[in-house]
Amino acid sequence: MPSSRNLSTAAAWFVWVLTFTVMLLTVLSVQAVGDRPLPSAYGLGHGFLAVGSRLVVTLIFVTIGALLIQRRLDSVVGWLLVVIGLDWAIQDYAVWYAAADLVGVSQHPGATLAAWFASWNWLPGQVGIAAVLPLFFPDGRLPSRRWRWALGVSMAGILLGTVGLAIQPGGLFLFPGIANPFSGPELKFLAAAIVDLSFASIGAGVLLAAASVFVRYRTSAYRERQQLKWFAYAATLAAAAVVATIVLRADLDPSADAQLIVIAYWLALGALPVAIGIAVLRHRLYDIDVLISRTFVYGSLLALAAGVYSASIRLFQYFFVLATGNKSDFAFVISTLILGTVFLPARKRLEQVADRWFNRRERKLDLFAEQVELVAGISVIDPAALARRLLKETLNALGSSAGEVRLRSSGGDTIVAAQGKIASVELKVPIATPIAELGTIALGARATGAAYTSAEIASLTHAAHAVGVALAPAVDEEAGAAILLR
């Protein structure tokens, strides 16, 4: 009899095959429509670049979701990604199925029904990313039972919004040239009230979902914080893409075919499942701090360069015209020289700020603790070697002038690793498991004389605990051997 894990994996990959099949049907419909203008109010995008960007992102969602389900027995996050991907594939096919009929290249049965379906089906997938997925990331569980009402608010908003769009009279949301076949003027006020209520619920749900990520971050250990950073980084890109899309589309003709906007939006959205896959599968998990710091540095430099260049050009053009009455390329040359002069010191200063914010040295201890936790229980631990490694990592991370590690044995505490001479102990942390203390690590003062911060103490405690858990089997085995010798 197959296990539940095997059934979940088989179901996930079946959905992947189904999604891929629907995507192929979508490609055939897109090919049939060709370059004919689409009767859509929101410029769904012509050509295979625009359509292909959506299809690629859809495939990324279902692929990463299936991988998470295959690796993890209870992967709510994986199933959310798979369902969202399948929903988008069906949505795209419904749009192009209806479009092929409306532009006259084919006569499909149920084209009006497909247009109606596509005009409300987009909402659950799009809103679910922002209002539901963050509540379950990264472990597939809500932060606590109290967050069930937040999930209820999000689901209520999605349901109300879907119903409101489905019964809204007049032209359909995506195809305004087609009257809603399942509504009439008598439902106008009811549909408007439902849509307004859904917007309020969805807005509240998105804010609560974002708050849940913040709450998890404040109470989580180092590994989960790194996972949440990946998620927050990708979510920020997606949110920026959504805002930019809304702003840009507001300035365009509603029927315009905005390919570049569509492509940029979907590629930014595709960063989310990639970040989730990295975070949950923990491949290159700890590179997020470097990525964030580099984004901060070069994003700030780009904004600074654009501002300095624009301002200096305007300034020199103004003075040159005032003095000569003519415009000149001299302003561009001077502005370029100024930009080059400002760029290097600005970059160095921003890198210093980024290192202080994102690459703090004590995080090396958290990374060391994660490495110890990965090998604990699956390899033979040499207590003295691990103690020396703990001391070395601690001294490098915290800048201590001296330190020592003591481990308990049948003869009492024994120094198993030491470096320098401790004039006075400034910090002592136990190397312990939840049930026993196996030793201590003691540090002298820093070379700079600065006191140890609470964040540094927390990181050292995390590393010492990981070492204690790793050493526990070896210590128990040594105690048992001592008893036998007696």
Share of the chain above pLDDT 70, in %: 70
Distance CA 329, CA 53 (A): 40
Cβ pair 49, 252 in contact under 8 A: no
Percent with pLDDT over 90 in the chain: 17
Between 469 and 328, the more confident residue is 469
335 CB-side CA count, 13 A: 20
The reply to whether 331 and 278 lie within a common domain is no
Quick: pLDDT tens for 265-307. Answer: 788 888 888 888 877 776 555 554 544 455 544 444 445 555 5
* Domain final residue pick, 330, 358, 386: 358
Task: Out of 234, 261, 283, pick the residue that ends a domain.
Answer: 283
CATH (domain of 385) = 3.30.450.40
Backbone angles phi and psi of 369, in degrees to 5: -60, -40
One domain for residues 58 and 200: yes
Same domain, 30 and 87: yes
Q: Is the pTM of this model over 0.75?
A: no
Same domain, 255 and 373: no
Q: How many angstroms separate the Cα of 99 from the Cα of each of 23, 54, 112, 398?
A: 16, 17, 10, 63
Residue 349 shares a structural domain with residue 367: no
Interatomic CA distance for residues 21 and 216, integer angstroms: 38
Nearest alpha carbon to residue 463 among 364, 360, 355, 356: 364
Based on the fold, state whether residues 304 and 452 are members of the same structural domain.
no
Report residue 339's pLDDT band, with 50, 70 and 90 as the boundaries: low
**Picking from 56-70, 93-107, 197-211, 355-369, which range would have the lowest pLDDT averaged per residue?**
355-369
pLDDT of residue 96 exceeding 90: no
- pLDDT tops 90 at residue 155: yes
Question: What are the pLDDT digits (tens) for 214-225?
Answer: 888 887 776 777
Tell whether 9 and 89 lie within a shared domain: yes
More confident residue, 468 or 349: 468
Q: Which of 67-81, 132-146, 415-429 is predicted with the least confidence, judged by mean pLDDT?
A: 67-81
Identify whether residues 278 and 296 lie together within a single domain: no
pLDDT tens, residue by residue, 45-62? 555 677 888 888 899 899
Over residues 404-431, the mean pLDDT reads: 85
| pLDDT on residue 483 | 33
The answer, yes or no, to whether residue 481 has pLDDT greater than 50, is no
269 and 308 both lie in a single domain: no
**Same structural domain, 254 and 336:** no
Q: What's the domain range around 346?
A: 292-358
Residues 178 and 279 in one domain: yes
Q: Which of the listed residues 259, 283, 307 is the one where a domain comes to its end?
A: 283
Residues 269 and 413 occupy one common structural domain: no
Q: Of 98 and 86, which is predicted with more confidence?
A: 86
Considering only residues 330 and 86, tell me which one the structure prediction assigns the higher pLDDT: 86
| Burial (Cβ within 10 Å: 0-12, 13-18, ≥19) of residue 419 | middle
Q: What is the pLDDT of residues 109-122, one digit of tens each?
A: 888 899 999 999 98
Q: Per-residue pLDDT for 422 more than 50?
A: yes
Which CATH number do you get for residue 89?
1.20.1070
Number of compact structural domains in the chain:
3
